[in-house]
Structure 1
């Protein structure tokens, strides 16, 4: 019989923080620092597990008052329906304000063009940057973690972006002793990553501890998928499957969610949070490395997009 891997607990010292307590405390501190330093922060919220955990932490940081900022979603138009439903239910449950930047609107206006491969993740940058400018957001919380991908491993918790939204690793500031520098010139803004020091396993252990609800696609379910480049992708209007790609029903779950055209499922029977934790503890691939086709476009795909203004 398999057992879930749980976070280590300190029992000798009743005042010692557990591993998850320390991560939670750090994240709560970051949310409060931003609320004190910036005028118009916003949480980038996709309805994925990291942004859900991030919102949970923000609710804790300011309870019993609501968080002093809203949510921003860059909607590619190819999002999983289950995730969009969860997003809207979450906003309604907590009475939050949701801003939506639509990639489809930019395509309809002719500002952006569809890519030949149907992937819209790389098209999110312009709608994101224009939404930040339109609403004058000066700090943007993102759910990026350093364990996800090598470009994200270079990030600071406070990541300075220039007036074009671009990221330059040489301009990132030291953050000794958890001291964060939010200074920025007019037109610049700061991306803030409260989950930087978390791992995928930490996130799931925290979800289990806090009993946080997630969209159903994070757990094993039967779904029609087809194989492309070693990943199980969902068929859709974005162009899949192509000729020669056969749709079949598999028992799968998603480790991360994004544009349906580039987010792959993994075969899994993990239908509970405990089973997911056990599965992740045995995995040697990050969720982006295993399931995100947009990160495989080139060796430096993520870093290139970050320099252009992507998260």
Structure 2
């Protein structure tokens, strides 16, 4: 909500709350992309950040429909609750959904399963090929600068070359919220309207707007096993291994990705108010605490960005 006070010389003055200011910035970015690009697309996984992005896009163009399609890179190891949410959302808003399937590439022999079972690092080729074949010139992502050090380097408009690769030396200044979408044929721009949001901002906005989320974001009973300091869900990807014991615990997920690398946290946060309290007290980002794919090396996310994934 905005606040109002009176200046004796100029009359009523209005100040946006921090959530209103973040919303206004994101809406401006969506509209800027609609004006600058011919064929944008929104990356949508059914995770909280992509859900928030879609809500902001709906606001940006209401009462008209969102003028962008959605793109999901499906690892084949997604949480069923999240896929069901994705499909309900597409039907509810009459959206166009493109699905790039990692399993298709494995079946064709183009990609091979990793020894650790995780498919998150295998998403790069399906994503970049779908961008090229559909000729998407702007791709919205839900990355935030507070999540991980490599993401903190991103500009709002992140230029990618004809191979979808990221070169930090080619990124442009964004003074006074001026965004340069110029790109050569074959290049595209990744766009991050949530860059300046924090995890706490996301949850506070979700609470304010009463946004529905997949149930796994709230505390629930689940069968999990311990690996590398995280509670992972057993599934068709191959866990648990010998010696890893499955337990019934009350957990929730702070972030959602491939089941093989997304850990749950012990939690009693069954309501959004409790989640906000829990996040406010945390000193670890959701990716730092619960994403094994970011721990493959010190520069795991940086490497994936250079290859074209994020």
Report the alpha carbon displacement of residue 239 of structure 1 after superposing the two structures with TM: 1.0
Q: C-alpha root-mean-square deviation of aligned residues, in Å?
A: 1.0
Alignment check: 8 A CA contact 2:2 2:14 kept: no
Deviation at 1:165, TM superposition (A): 0.6
Name the structure 1 match of 2:91.
92
Match of 2:283 in 1: 284
The residue aligned with 2:250 is 251
> Which residues of 2 match residues 73-222 of structure 1 at below 5 A?
73-222=72-221
Q: Which residue of 2 aligns with 1:240?
A: 239
Equivalence for 1:5: none
Q: Could you state the TM-score of these two structures normalised by the residue count of structure 1?
A: 0.96
Post-superposition offset of 1:231: 0.2
**Could you say which residue in structure 2 is the equivalent of 1:3?**
none
Distance in 2, matches of 1:227 and 1:169, equals 37
Name the CA distance, whole Å, in 1 between partners of 2:117 and 2:167. 29
Q: Which runs of 5+ in 2 are unaligned?
A: 7-12
Match of 1:31 in 2: 30
Secondary structure of residue in 2 paired with 1:15: strand
Asked if structure 2 preserves the Cα contact closer than 8 Å seen for 1:103 and 1:124, the reply is yes
User: Is 1:268 matched up with 2:287?
Assistant: no
Return the alpha-carbon distance in structure 1 between the equivalents of residues 149 and 4 of structure 2.
35
CA distance in 1, matches of 2:41, 2:2: 33
Instruction: Determine which structure has greater relative contact order: mean sequence separation of CA pairs < 8 Å that are 6+ residues apart, divided by chain length.
Output: 1
Distance in 1 separating the partners of 2:145 and 2:40: 22
Give deviations 1:253-310, integer Å, cap 9, x for gaps: 0000000000000000001111000000000000000000000000000000100001
What's the offset of the Cα at 1:12? Answer: 4.0
Q: Secondary structure at the match of 1:249?
A: strand
Post-superposition offset of 1:9: 6.9
Displacement after TM superposition at 1:10 (Å): 4.2
**Secondary structure of the equivalent of 1:258?**
coil
Native 8 Å contact 1:9 1:19 kept in 2: no
Match of 1:70 in 2: 69
Quote the offset at 1:170 in angstroms: 1.3
Instruction: Give the direction of change, closer, same or farther, for the CA distance of 1:103–1:280 in structure 2 (3 Å limit).
Output: same
SS of the residue 1:73 aligns to: strand
Where does structure 1 lack aligned partners over 5 or more consecutive residues? 1-7
Residue-pair matches, total:
304
Does the CA contact (< 8 Å) of 2:233 and 2:259 recur in 1? Answer: yes
CA distance in 2, matches of 1:223, 1:88: 23
